[in-house]
Chain A
Amino acid sequence: MRWGVIVFPGSCDEQDVYDCLKNNLRQKVDFLWHKDPLAGKFDCIVLPGGFSYGDYLRCGAMARFSPIMQGVVEFAQKGGLVLGICNGFQILCEAGLLPGALTRNASLQFICRRVFVRLEETDTPFTCAGKKGQLLKLPIKHGEGCYYADPTTLERLHKNRQILVRYVDAKGRTTPAANPNGSLDHIAGVCNEGRNVFGLMPHPEDAGEKILGGEDGLKIFSSVIEACDKRGKRAWLD
């Protein structure tokens, strides 16, 4: 299978995603320049973390207008897999591919540390290699990761089981102290109704090796690989 990692001006974690996929999972990966149209066959497009356009406006508000984003929307509409990490999650929300919004952390400070998240659903291409209720230890590093959605949207998220990861403590409980940024309902990541677009604030690519403190992040990427294998070697976009 083949991955595309979009480089926006101000992306910071594109190399981390690239290296994690290439070195740890032996995947084929290409960088995609934000000014180019989305062309070529890809199984999964990744929108990496960083500060696209400096995030001087709302996070992700500018990047959604990048030329490549039109192709990403079409790709997603055709069922292509799209993964947004941190700033990528924010961009997907701004682009309307995912519900809700990410606002300033409750502490009003940037937060960088490792957190535990709990896998809530495993019937998606991003979580299928895991077990329901499994804990993953992943780094977060963001200033605006407080997830918000209006009550109707939240209800729909529950009904459709779109909340894929929640912030929990080491024992898997959703205690207030385990919520690092004040996210609604401890939400760390959600998918769309079609379950082919997933955004999360934690960084799986920075938890891909024991020497860096753990390899729980591989679970997300290997889920995608497993899902694509099951669907056959078919790419979603020509």
Chain B
Amino acid sequence: MARLSAKQFPQPPVSADTIASHGFSEEEYRRIVQILEREPNFTELGVFSVMWSEHCSYKSSKVHLKLLPTDGPAVLQGPGENAGIVDIGNGLAVVFKMESHNHPSFIEPYQGAATGVGGILRDIFTMGARPIASLNSLRFGAIDHPRTPYLLSGVVAGIGGYGNCVGVPTVGGELFFDESYNANILVNAFTLGIAEKKRIFTGKAKGVGNPLIYVGAKTGRDGIHGATMASEAFSEESEKRRPTVQVGDPFTEKLLLEACLELMKGDCLVGIQDMGAAGLTSSAAEMAARGGTGVELDLSRVPLRERGMTPYEMLLSESQERMLLVAKKGKEEQVKRVFERWDLDAVVVGKVTRDRLFRAFFDGAEVVRIPVAALTSEAPVYTRPAERPQSQDDVQRLDLEKIEEPADLGAALKRLLDSPNVASKEWVFRQYDHFVRSNTVVAPGADAAVIRIKGTEKGLALTVDGNGRYCYLDPYVGGILAVAEAARNLACVGARPLGLSDCLNFGSPERPDVMWQFSQVVQGMRDGCIALGVPVVSGNVSFYNETDGVPIYPTPTVAMVGLLPKVVRHVTPWFKSPGDIVVLLGRSREELGGSEYLKVIHGLAKGTPPWIDLRLERAVQQSCLKAIDKGILHSAHDLSEGGLGVALAECCISGPEKPLGARVEPREMMRGDARLFGESQSRIIVSLKEKDLNRLREIAEKEGAPMQVIGEVGGSRLVVHPLIRLPVDELKSIWTNGLEKRLK
């Protein structure tokens, strides 16, 4: 490989143009000069630009994120590391995180999504955990937008192509279409791993003189300034950004995963971190920051894939499937042997130093010398202006009297089941391996996925939720609802929450209206988390999801993990036996604001989202959980998009066996469309044997949850007296084909 020498690498001059093109404000540049007590060279400018990018520094979000509760009795590691960690007993811990890969996935859907999966997998196994389950949360533009089928097919194939090949099952997720995402799709990838509590590793560079070892794939020019790209809005120019999207190699990832886990069994390792966004620079700098040390890199030793790479390119490359280790001095050969066994490079590229400096040498010459703190803890933090836009009043105005109730509510239900947000997502899930590792108890498509923990009686439940339309209409309430729905989904399978990881996807933080949305959503999430007792243990923020000045709906996605003490007790959403009694836990109100019904049938995204009483939410969830503990529930299903009508239909048709009918008659007096399709929160449909009804009544009464017997399972039709009477076979066929037929 032809390498440049220092002489062949004249640093380009730093000019006003290069400063601006690296995304610095004048103020920020002055600060750099002040820190260095001199002008930075071109390479240093690049290093600052990635480390101070929104993506790496969280400079606009930090002050708000501090509000989130991050602690709990079982939390072993909150935000700030590669992933969060929660104790689950039996000497085991779960390690999980969700991360966005929105910008690259829009530019190159297959590779963007694939490398999103690769990145989150590395965040998990870098902590000593074997990844055992993945989820993803996806948002696309309107299904009839010309780009949507291409983007969706590419993203789904990319997630499958990577995850399947690495052997980590994708056990669940969500998919939502709306015009708001026409020019900015969202791809949020989540992975959970399991580790022995005693053998958890962190990204700390400790021990002066310890070697820094580069392992994994070689460095190329791909992804340079990926972190910076993710910190800018899109314009017509974005198509040209394709070269900044990295290319994934899941096979190398698989080898890296196995080699790292093998290395972690021994005693060579001090610290380890994935080279993710901002590559070698951020992994080295962040590890030094956490270790309270400095690092010295010899770039001449970095394994390269391309000719003539400059120090700037090596430091900023986001080539995939690379990790940086800090090993114990003297154990270098042992480390190399493990990686050799897996046919991977392992090269000493530097060492831990005492001076708290980030230094890089190239061909003997020092090319970077920056205090570690300047790149990490002392990066700029902004309290950006936030203001509720006046247009919000208009958005929230909805006069139900002017909304005409459809004459045929059965036809409306069929249209909803046929709409892509409600229809079955099987077309997506069947492209993901959800069986590998043989732990999957409840596969994708239920309220939450359930996996068992081998060697114990326990199980884990996983779900990801977030309704951008609700947040657009009322970001504070929307933030609460995202947390509440995720916890409710866990309750429906019988799991109590351990913690959550979130991706906060928003427009440009430089806009006061977006910052207002952001701060409101975070406050809502905080209140939801506190009321339901769920700590936030990891997550990320993705700003600048906007194109030509139009931001996406503010979209927090909440991935929540819950524990089932006995996995055999889990419950699924669909009806099981004719004769079972159908009960609605919770209370329905006449509210249609922000509903899927209003969008699909009336073409409106208006009003205020459903209200939530967190005490009622808790009572409903506790009732469901306790009834599952007692083993009296045959099914439990959360009411969400499409309300009671869609939820009942799903109870009838979403099971793996033949659909089952039901006859119900809800008592609430209100307009028919609100009764059927209103999205009042804190409601769960359960079914059980008649003889167990009194036990459920006792539980609900004790918890303070309203409950209503609404009908009985049986027959071949779904009857909601007197509004709807439809054959379940027909509903099943509509619901099963709704998404797939639109993608042909």
| Interface residues of A, Cβ cutoff 8 Å to B | 9-13, 15-16, 19-20, 23, 35, 49-51, 53-56, 109-114, 139, 141, 143, 203, 205-206, 208-209, 211-213
A-side contacts of B255, CB under 8 Å: 9-10
Q: What residue of chain A has the Cβ atom nearest to residue B441's Cβ?
A: A211
User: By the criterion CB–CB under 8 Å, are B433 and A112 in contact?
Assistant: yes
The residues in B between 552 and 586 inclusive whose CB is less than 8 angstroms from any CB of A are 567-568
Instruction: Confirm or deny: B543 has a beta carbon within 8 angstroms of a beta carbon on chain A.
Output: no
A9-B255, A50-B167, A51-B164 given; A206·B250 CB < 8 A? no
Q: How far is the CB of A25 from chain B (nearest CB, A)?
A: 13
Q: List 30 A-B contacts (CB under 8 A).
A: A9-B254, A9-B342, A10-B254, A12-B165, A12-B167, A13-B436, A16-B437, A16-B438, A49-B436, A50-B167, A51-B165, A54-B251, A54-B252, A54-B254, A55-B165, A110-B160, A110-B164, A111-B431, A112-B430, A112-B432, A114-B656, A141-B433, A141-B434, A143-B164, A206-B435, A206-B438, A211-B452, A211-B567, A212-B435, A212-B438
Contact A111 B430 (CB under 8 A): yes
User: Which chain A residues border B160 with CB–CB below 8 Å?
Assistant: 110
Contact between B454 and A19 (Cβ–Cβ < 8 Å)? yes
Q: State in angstroms the CA–CA spacing of A9 and B255 once bound together.
A: 7
Tell which of A51, A112, A205 has the most Cβ of chain B within 10 Å.
A112
Report the minimal beta-carbon distance from A69 to chain B, rounded to whole angstroms: 17
Task: Using CB atoms and an 8 Å cutoff, list the residues of chain B in contact with chain A.
Answer: 157, 160-161, 164-167, 249-252, 254-255, 341-343, 429-441, 443, 452, 454, 567-568, 656
Q: Which residues of A contact B161 (CB under 8 A)?
A: 110
Q: Assess whether A109 is in contact with B254, with CB atoms less than 8 Å apart.
A: no
Residues of B contacting A10 with CB < 8 Å? 165, 251, 254-255
Which A residues touch B568, using CB under 8 A?
A: 211
Cβ-Cβ contact count across A and B, 8 Å cutoff: 94
Give Cα distance in the complex from A109 to B430, angstroms: 9
A19 near B251 with CB under 8 A, answer: no
- 4 more CB-based (< 8 A) A-B contacts, given A15-B438, A23-B454, A51-B251: A13-B167, A54-B252, A55-B165, A213-B443
Residues on A with beta carbons closer than 8 Å to the beta carbon of B430: 109-113
* Residues of chain B within 8 A of A49, CB atoms compared: 436
Check A109/B251 contact, CB under 8 A, given A211-B441, A212-B438: no
The distance in angstroms between the C-alpha atoms of A110 and B435, with both chains bound, is 13
Residues of A within 8 A of B167 (CB): 11-13, 50-51
Given the complex of chains A and B, what is the CA–CA distance between A141 and B250 in angstroms? Answer: 17
Answer whether A54 and B250 are a contact pair too, CB < 8 Å, given A15-B437, A113-B430. yes
Given the interface contacts A9-B254, A54-B249, does A141 sit within 8 Å of B438 by beta carbon? no
Q: How far is the CA of A12 from the CA of B567 in the complex (A)?
A: 24
With a 10 A CB-CB cut-off, give which of A35, A143, A203 has the most chain B CB atoms.
A143
Least CB distance, A100 to chain B, in whole angstroms: 23
Identify which of A20, A54, A56 gathers the most chain B CB atoms within 10 Å of its CB: A54
- A159 to chain B minimum Cβ distance, whole angstroms, is 35
Return chain B residues, CB-CB under 8 Å to A50. Answer: 167
Complex: A143 Cα to B438 Cα, angstroms: 19
Residues of B within 8 A of A211 (CB): 441, 452, 567-568
Report how far A11 CA is from B436 CA in the complex, Å: 11
Cα distance A54–B254 when bound, in Å? 9
Question: In the complex, what distance in Å separates the CA atom of A56 from the CA atom of B441?
Answer: 31
In the assembled complex, the Cα of A193 lies from the Cα of B160 at a distance in Å of: 36
- Chain B residues contacting A51 (CB-CB under 8 Å) are 164-165, 167, 250-251, 254
Return the contact of A212 from the options B254, B429, B432, B441 (Cβ within 8 A). B441
Q: Shortest Cβ distance from B79 into chain A, in angstroms?
A: 31
Q: Give complex CA distance A15, B435 in Å.
A: 12
Q: How far is the CA of A226 from the CA of B379 in the complex (A)?
A: 67
A212 and B431 form a contact (CB under 8 A): no
A54 to B249, CA, bound (A): 8
Q: How far is the CA of A15 from the CA of B436 in the complex (A)?
A: 9
Partner of B435, one of A11, A23, A112: A112
Q: How far is the CA of A46 from the CA of B719 in the complex (A)?
A: 52
Minimum CB–CB distance from A210 to chain B (whole Å) comes to 9
A19 CA to B166 CA, complexed, in Å: 19
Residues B441 and A203 in contact, CB atoms below 8 Å apart: no
Cα(A51)–Cα(B443), bound, Å: 22
A54–B342 alpha-carbon span in the complex (Å): 13
Chain B residues with Cβ below 8 Å from A55 are 165, 251
**Which residues from chain B contact A9 at a C-beta distance below 8 Å?**
251, 254-255, 342-343
CA distance A55 to B161 in the complex (A): 11
Report the Cα distance A113→B444, complex, angstroms: 11
Using Cβ atoms and an 8 Å threshold, which residues of chain A touch B433?
12, 110, 112, 141
**Distance to closest chain A CB from B328 (angstroms):** 26
Whole-angstrom distance from the CB of A51 to the nearest CB of chain B? 4
How far apart sit A145 and B434, CA to CA, in the bound complex (Å)?
Answer: 17
CB-CB nearest in chain A for B168: A12
- Cβ-neighbour of B251 out of A15, A56, A213 (below 8 A): A56
Across the interface, do B251 and A53 meet the contact criterion of CB distance under 8 Å? yes
> Which residue of chain A has its CB nearest to the CB of B452?
A211
Nearest CB in chain B: distance from A54 CB, A: 3
CB distance from B301 to the nearest CB of A (A): 25
- Distance of A70 Cα from B254 Cα, bound (Å): 25
Provide the residues of chain A in CB contact with B432, threshold 8 Å.
Answer: 110, 112
Residue ID in chain A nearest B439 by CB atoms: A212
Q: Which residues of B contact A212 (CB under 8 A)?
A: 435, 438-441, 452
The answer to whether A19 and B438 have CB atoms under 8 Å apart is yes
Alpha-carbon distance A79/B647, docked complex (angstroms): 56
Alpha-carbon gap, A16 to B437, bound state (A): 5
A111–B156 alpha-carbon span in the complex (Å):
12
Q: Is the CB of B431 within 8 A of A110?
A: yes
Q: Give A139 to B341 CA distance when docked, in angstroms.
A: 32
Note all chain A residues with C-beta closer than 8 A to B567.
211
**For A209, what are the chain B residues with a Cβ–Cβ distance below 8 Å?**
438
Q: Return chain B residues, CB-CB under 8 Å to A13.
A: 167, 436
Bound complex: CA A206 to CA B433 (Å): 11
Query: Chain A residue with minimal CB distance to B432?
Result: A112
Give Cα distance in the complex from A141 to B432, angstroms: 8
Inter-chain CA distance A111–B255, complex, in Å, is 24
Query: Residue on B with the closest CB to A15?
Result: B437
Known: A9-B254, A9-B255, A54-B250. A112 touches B440 (CB 8 A): no
